[in-house]
């Protein structure tokens, strides 16, 4: 009898512990989605929805409230959707919200844990200051020939295969992934791999492992890192394989050693990391302004200060790792959405082709240049609108690093240290209050005449504030270049396999398109 009483008491105490935060938002007067026992509310893991659909639901459920709440399992999390408040928390009061939430720490996975996106506090500030000069417009200009060469090679290889009788229908995400892998292999490591001719190369195999991120086993790992990180650490469960870790270590460190021993200078990421390790990577003195595109993130003054911290080899390997991870799949996803819109909006594709043809005529057959790329206003409008309608990062977050009093309207409450909030980028980008008729793909939103009407902090394809995406210029350069060469050589057409409208897969991590986006490449 005593055992049953003890079990009853323990069960009651466990239940009370599990629901201890259920009235968290109520005590602050903030509207919230009530939690289901253990599963939370609107949880990406407890609903059969795609991640963008979940984020859209977060945004819509309390669309007239500047701040609301939900529960991720047992953890209360804020949703901040008001543009002015987003700017207040991520820019003006950045020091109180300077960190991202990190699931995979350095002691669990050294590469992911040391990568810029995972770092916190002063170490993040130092690394951001160290790397910031590597992603300026001037550095992109120096690197651009590699990108243009890969873009031209991609189109040429595809054209040759089609003319020789090969299939002219492609799943575009697969095509875009090969381009971005080849591009990063060239721009980061100085290696020409041509995944269209040699799909079994090491870089493409590593990319394939990354793309398995949404496998059920990896999703379970991800849930484990979110909910019971100490248990994952106890059993020494790694997210990325030793093969992958060793690949990046060897590719980065060995290349750096060879370059230094032989005095090889190539204006790519390895060269920039060599400079960073020596403390010689600094912002350019050249004050010439380069218009990199509407979506390019703002550079903040604190990024221009020189960090004095000494970085070891693994610190640098981790940056190459995250450059590869973020630079190939996210950009390939953005390209795929843009290709879909060009297929279903032939008038927009034709107008873009006419601009490309004009630039090609001005170049007289020479390789595309960074300066010419930036003169293409309509290209920038189309890319900007693709990133508006289909942001490849549907949500971003911040952690409160010290107790912070939030004040707006007649409300005032404290966000405690350690609590975090999310910004529903997908919801904001598709909110008719900020972008009328959001379902329509309309590049004219970003024309010189109209873009000034876009409200501050409502367009966030690369995040917000100091912790925005450091590689926005590189991503835009990749997207524009591949479409320049593809549209110069091919008309993108509907095929029997093209699914209109497209449908997103019901997976809790990442973005995948059901049945892919099939595009016909018709040689011009």
Binding-site residues sit at 469
Q: Are 513 and 330 in contact (CB under 8 A)?
A: no
For residues 280 and 441, give the distance between their C-alpha atoms in angstroms, rounded to a whole number.
44
Residues of each annotated binding site for heme? 469
For residues 367 and 153, give the distance between their C-alpha atoms in angstroms, rounded to a whole number.
11
For residues 174 and 154, give the distance between their C-alpha atoms in angstroms, rounded to a whole number.
13
For residues 429 and 425, give the distance between their C-alpha atoms in angstroms, rounded to a whole number.
6
Nearest to 188 by CA among 332, 369, 328, 335: 328
Q: Are 321 and 112 in contact (CB under 8 A)?
A: yes
Question: Rounded to the nearest 5 degrees, what angle is found at the Cα of 256, between the Cα atoms of 255 and 262?
Answer: 90
* Sheet with 490-493, side-by-side order of all strands: 169-171, 518-523, 490-493
Supply φ then ψ for residue 184, to 5 degrees: -75, -35
Q: Residue 453: exposed, middle, or buried by beta-carbon count in 10 A (0-12, 13-18, 19+)?
A: exposed
The sign one gets for the Cα dihedral 246, 247, 252, 256 is positive
CA 439: distance to chain centroid?
22
Q: Are 188 and 323 in contact (CB under 8 A)?
A: yes
Strands 169-171 and 518-523: antiparallel
Beta-bridged to residue 149, according to DSSP, are: none
Q: Residue 254: exposed, middle, or buried by beta-carbon count in 10 A (0-12, 13-18, 19+)?
A: exposed
Question: Rounded to the nearest 5 degrees, what angle is found at the Cα of 436, between the Cα atoms of 432 and 441?
Answer: 110
Distances from the Cα of 345 to the Cα of 342, 352, 501, angstroms: 5, 11, 12
Q: Are 464 and 423 in contact (CB under 8 A)?
A: yes
Q: In the chain, count H helices and then E strands.
A: 19, 9
Tokens of 103: 């699931």
Number of neighbours of residue 340 by Cβ within 10 angstroms? 25
Q: Are 201 and 207 in contact (CB under 8 A)?
A: no
For residues 321 and 244, give the distance between their C-alpha atoms in angstroms, rounded to a whole number.
9
Q: Are 270 and 259 in contact (CB under 8 A)?
A: yes
Nearest to 220 by CA among 12, 509, 518, 430: 509
Strands 396-399 and 420-423: antiparallel
Number of neighbours of residue 207 by Cβ within 10 angstroms? 22
């Amino acid at each position: 009898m005593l055992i049953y009483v003890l079990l009853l008491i323990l069960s009651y105490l466990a239940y009370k512990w599990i629901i201890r935060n259920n009235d968290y938002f109520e005590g602050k007067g903030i509207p919230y989605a009530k939690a289901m026992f253990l599963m939370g509310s609107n949880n990406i893991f407890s609903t059969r929805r795609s991640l963008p659909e979940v984020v859209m639901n977060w945004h819509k459920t309390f669309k007239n409230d500047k701040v609301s709440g939900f529960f991720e399992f047992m953890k209360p999390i804020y949703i901040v959707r008001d543009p002015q408040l987003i700017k207040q928390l991520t820019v003006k009061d950045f020091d109180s919200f300077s960190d991202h939430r990190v699931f995979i720490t350095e002691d669990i996975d050294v590469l992911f844990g040391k990568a810029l996106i995972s770092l916190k506090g002063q170490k993040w500030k130092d690394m951001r200051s160290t790397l910031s000069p590597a992603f300026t417009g001037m550095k992109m200009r120096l690197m651009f020939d590699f990108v243009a060469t890969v873009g031209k090679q991609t189109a040429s290889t595809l054209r040759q295969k089609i003319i020789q009788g090969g299939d002219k229908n492609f799943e575009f995400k697969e095509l875009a992934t090969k381009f971005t892998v080849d591009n990063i292999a060239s721009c980061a490591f100085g290696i020409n791999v041509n995944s269209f001719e040699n799909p079994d190369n090491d870089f493409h195999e590593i990319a394939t492992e990354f793309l398995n991120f949404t496998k059920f086993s990896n999703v379970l790992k991800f849930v484990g890192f979110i909910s019971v990180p100490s248990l994952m650490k106890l059993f020494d469960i790694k997210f990325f394989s030793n093969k992958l870790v060793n690949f990046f270590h060897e590719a980065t460190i060995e290349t750096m050693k060879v370059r230094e021993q032989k005095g090889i200078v190539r204006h790519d990421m390895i060269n920039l990391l060599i400079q960073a390790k020596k403390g010689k990577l600094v912002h350019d003195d050249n004050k010439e302004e380069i218009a990199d595109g509407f979506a390019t993130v703002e550079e903040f003054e604190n990024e221009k200060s020189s960090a004095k911290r000494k970085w070891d080899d693994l610190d640098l390997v981790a940056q190459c790792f995250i450059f590869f991870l973020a630079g190939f799949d996210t950009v390939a996803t953005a390209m795929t959405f843009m290709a879909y819109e060009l297929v279903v909006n032939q008038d927009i594709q034709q107008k873009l082709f006419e601009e490309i043809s004009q630039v090609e005529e001005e170049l007289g057959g020479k390789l595309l240049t960074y300066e010419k790329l930036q003169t293409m206003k309509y290209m920038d409008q189309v890319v900007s609108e693709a990133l508006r309608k289909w942001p490849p990062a549907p949500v971003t977050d911040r952690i409160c690093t010290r107790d912070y009093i939030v004040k707006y309207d007649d409300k005032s409450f404290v966000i405690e240290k350690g609590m975090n909030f999310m910004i529903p980028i997908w919801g904001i980008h598709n909110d008719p209050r900020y972008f009328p008729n959001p379902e329509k793909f309309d590049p004219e939103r970003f024309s010189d005449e109209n873009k000034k009407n876009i409200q501050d902090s409502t367009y966030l394809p690369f995040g917000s504030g100091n912790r925005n995406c450091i590689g926005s210029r590189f991503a835009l350069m990749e997207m524009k270049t591949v479409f320049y060469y593809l549209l110069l050589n091919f008309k993108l057409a509907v095929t029997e396999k093209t699914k209109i409208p497209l449908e997103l897969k019901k997976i809790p991590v990442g973005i995948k398109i059901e049945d892919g986006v099939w595009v016909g490449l018709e040689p011009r």
